[in-house]
Amino acid sequence: MASVATDHAVKVGGEDHVGIGTDGPVSAVDNLDAYRADLAEQVTRRREAGVSATGEGDDAHPFVVVLRGVDQFHELIRLLERRGCRSERIEKVLGRNCPRRSAATAAVAVRDRLDRPRRDHRGLAESRSVAEGRLGLRLVHPHRQR
């Protein structure tokens, strides 16, 4: 499932624009049966209290069941290799794309900040070159030099 979704994302968005990571700790669920029982109990309590989400069930996990624990990324690599993904694509999707995309996003945010210059105590806007100097930056559009 995870490898199919990843493969689809790459086909739709391109291998240079897909990145997989984690926004939290590793899903270390060693005893899946105990986890499912606990989840079912929580869902039942939420339903009884009238605060469950529409369609909420005890079969919806916040992680991919086959990708849990400390080996989750190693397993995803194996699944992607079985689907025929090249090692270069796997490296991009599981790491190399994220810093590049983050840097590009940060550059847009800085450029946006420079386009809305600070005003001094008299209400006069600072020039872009002053703002660039203050921030220690010189931004160049990727397709043209200034």
- Closest by CA to 2, choosing from 89, 69, 84, 76, is 76
CA angle 4, 27, 46 (to 5 degrees): 100
94-143 per-position pLDDT tens digit: 888 888 777 877 777 777 766 666 666 666 655 666 656 665 555 555 55
The pLDDT of residue 108 is 77
Question: What is the percent of the chain where pLDDT is above 70?
Answer: 71
Distance CA 141, CA 130 (A): 18
More confident residue, 146 or 27: 27
The model's pTM is 0.55
The pLDDT of residue 64 is 78
Tokens of 105: 């996003």
29-72 per-position pLDDT tens digit: 778 889 889 989 999 999 999 998 888 888 887 777 777 777 88
